[in-house]
Structure 1
Amino acid sequence: MEPIRTLDGLVELVKGRKTMTLAVANGQDPHTIEAVYRGVKEGLVKAKMVGDRERIEELSREKGVDASVFEIIDVKEPNEAGRIARDLVREGEAQVLMKGLISTDVYMRLILDKEKGLLPKGRILSHIAVMETPSYPKLLFVSDVAVIPKPDLKQKIAITNYAIEVAHKFGIENPKVAILAATEKVSDKMEATIDAAIIAKMAERKQIKGAIVDGPLALDVAVSREACEIKSLKS
């Protein structure tokens, strides 16, 4: 598999695979409706919109969206809509859960519920953003910028492994991983630099596999050869 270097390339890859079903938790949000409609029309997903049917259909008309492409499950109460959407994934009727117009706190509690949630036992819930920018020649994977505000070392190791796994799914056999901190120097006064050095050493000793890992690194040297040269840094 050739590495995917653009988001358009990702779309083309998904089009060639089995179509998954998306369950949207409280889908009466115009931006959500537009995004899901585009995914359905491009053949990327099938969609189950859980929420207020009347409101979903009204917003769809306002946006010029044909709501008949969705399966709408009429649920008036937002939290209940979230629960039903989650259960669709638990029961195998959908493969992907998407957040609609529902409180983030409620949404996360539904996912993390110990009895009925979606997180496998012993795993850590994380977040990965995949970004494409004209000023950089390839995709950037950034994690975690949404779920764990201050990860400890164990969580950082899990985040690193998740990011490597996602990069492999994009056809990147040996991704370069920068463990970020405010400085490239290890300091006992900055826990982030110590954690980064530990993770880099773990990768060197094959405790973390499938990637080239270095850290601590500031963001500028992680993405810019010129910044490395200015700082006389070899990575």
Structure 2
Amino acid sequence: MPAELPFLDQPLKSHHQVIERAKLIGRTHGLSSVVVAAAEEDDVLAAMYACKQEGISDAILTGNPENIRKALDLAKVPADSFDIIATESDQESALKAANLAASGEADVVMKGFLKTSILLKTLLKSDNGLRDRELVSHSALLYVPKYGKLLNVTDGGTIPTPDLRQKLVVIQNAVRVLRAVGVAKPNIAVFGSGESINDKYPETLDAQDLVSVAAEHWKDEINISGPMPLDLAIKKPEDLNARINDQVAGYADILLVHTLEQGNIIAKTLIQFGDAIFMGVIAGAKVPISLVSRSDSMMNKMASIALAVCLADFQRRNIPALPSIIANEQEIQ
């Protein structure tokens, strides 16, 4: 048995450090296995091959073998690089990926050439054994060079307009991702157009309610504040001539948004205009789910896979990110 890799005692601060952590996990425990559902996607295969060459992860491919080999050839990846499991449809590819993850043969599930809705619906069916929380959510973990730390923008990928209860689950998922990269007590900024509560702006009232519930139950595990605009979340108040005394302001680790559109716009703006490196993962299932886009750079793809490997390692340790709470007479865990 290999020695247990010590857990992080300092937060990772860049995508390079996330990649190096994933490599260390691979050297200690063996390469994590990523099962690619419907792997007939050349850019995904190129990223998986780069990760294997760099010692980040290995892969199992599901899908049509002939089409996968064509995609491997297009990606200039040797045909014998990965094991291929033949399937006849996207649904079967997703189901096979779910079975491999549920049995422990795969540590991460990755989306290939199929719709996200098909993948998630199949993975999260109760009889497939991968449902962990009542819902999953997307974390866009960003390295913004001028910020100097990682910023998790959530949820810009799965839940269009989460309610209070759903936002509490999103917080749990986001904290799990941050714990996986060594952030012990995350600072959470609940997004708002301004920091004042205003009846004319419902999201400020939502932020107030969310902060009240989360702070009451998780005061020892997180710092949370809001509503808070983006500039105040990531720039010190004195740099903005803002007269506010808030331990989250200027030091946010998580930016919790109220709609999918908000999260998507903020993350893409930071990528396009702030030179941010994107690492995306879906958390809340028993294994991380990795989604990459054809438009993502190779570095973004590799960093996203590395983040999923780090999250899988954290989940393997069975360390609770946040304790369960009761909200609206129902347990959130």
TM-score, length basis structure 1: 0.90
What's 1:12 paired with?
20
Q: Which is worse superposed, 201-210 or 211-220?
A: 201-210
Conserved? CA contact 1:228–1:234, under 8 Å: no
Q: Give the whole-Å Cα distance in 2 for the aligned partners of 1:5 and 1:197.
A: 29
Superimposed CA distance per residue, residues 149-169 of structure 1 (whole angstroms, 9 cap, x where no aligned partner): 100001111111222232122
Matched, 1:158 2:169: yes
Superimposed CA distance per residue, residues 113-138 of structure 1 (whole angstroms, 9 cap, x where no aligned partner): 13225212x53211111111223211
State the percentage of identical aligned residues: 28
**Structure 1, gaps ≥5 residues long:** none
Superimposed CA distance per residue, residues 1-28 of structure 1 (whole angstroms, 9 cap, x where no aligned partner): 2210011111111112222211111001
Q: Give the whole-Å Cα distance in 2 for the aligned partners of 1:21 and 1:13.
A: 16
What's 2:281 paired with?
none
Q: Give the whole-Å Cα distance in 2 for the aligned partners of 1:207 and 1:140.
A: 20
Q: Paired residue for 1:112, among 117, 120, 124? A: 124
Q: Give the whole-Å Cα distance in 1 for the aligned partners of 2:198 and 2:79.
A: 56
TM-score, length basis structure 2: 0.65
**Structure 2, gaps ≥5 residues long:** 1-8, 247-333
Q: Paired residue for 1:49, among 47, 61, 64? A: 61
1:154-193 matches, cutoff 5 A: 154-193=165-204
What's 2:296 paired with?
none
Q: Give the whole-Å Cα distance in 1 for the aligned partners of 2:129 and 2:142.
A: 28
Higher relative contact order (CA 8 A, sep 6+): 2
Q: Give the whole-Å Cα distance in 2 for the aligned partners of 1:157 and 1:123.
A: 11
1:6-85 matches, cutoff 5 A: 6-17=14-25, 18=29, 19-85=31-97
What's 2:210 paired with?
199
Q: Give the whole-Å Cα distance in 2 for the aligned partners of 1:75 and 1:105.
A: 18
What's 1:3 paired with?
11
Q: Give the whole-Å Cα distance in 2 for the aligned partners of 1:159 and 1:150.
A: 12
Q: Give the whole-Å Cα distance in 2 for the aligned partners of 1:164 and 1:179.
A: 14
Q: Give the whole-Å Cα distance in 2 for the aligned partners of 1:34 and 1:61.
A: 10
SS of the aligned residue for 1:154 comes to helix
Aligned length: 234
What's 2:145 paired with?
134
Conserved? CA contact 2:11–2:182, under 8 Å: yes
* Displacement over 6 Å in runs of 4+: none
1:31 to 1:209, Cα distance in 2 relative to 1, 3 A: farther
Rg larger for: 1
RMSD (Å) for aligned C-alpha atoms:
2.0
